[in-house]
Structure 1
C-alpha cells in the first residue's frame, strides 16, 4: 500500500474511533483529552512533511 494512503487510512480510523467514544460517561479531564485529540487529528495534513536535515539515517519499511 502507498505509504501516504496508509497514513491517511490510519488517521481516518483513529479519528473515527475518537468520534464514536461516548463522552458522557467520561470524567471532565478525559472529555477534554478526547476533544483535544480530535481537534489535533482534524488539523493534520499529509501534504506537510517536516524538512529532513539529512543528519539522521532513516529507512522506510514497506
Structure 2
C-alpha cells in the first residue's frame, strides 16, 4: 500500500509541475511537448487505475 501511495504522490507532483509551466512564451513545438507530457501521465493513470481490475488482482496475493 505504501508503494501505491508513493507512486500516486509522484504522479501528482509530475502533473502539478507540468500544469504550472507557462507555455505562452514558448514556440509551437515546445507547447506540443508540454501538452504531450501532460497527457501521458493521465493516460497511464487511466490504464493502471483501480477500475481496470489489473491492479486489484496484482495486489490481492500480497
How many residues are matched? 49
Question: How far apart, CA to CA, are the structure 1 residues paired with 2:36 and 2:22?
Answer: 15
Q: CA RMSD in A?
A: 1.9
Which residue of structure 1 aligns with residue 24 of structure 2? 24
> 1:41 Cα deviation (Å)?
1.0
Which residue of structure 1 aligns with residue 7 of structure 2? 7
Unaligned runs of 5+ in 2: 56-62
So what's the TM-score if we normalise by structure 1?
Answer: 0.67
Unaligned runs of 5+ in 1: 50-62
So what's the TM-score if we normalise by structure 2?
Answer: 0.67
More contact order relative to length (CA 8 Å, sep ≥ 6) = 1
Structure (1 or 2) with the greater helix fraction: 2
Runs of 4+ in 1 over 3 A off after TM superposition: 46-49
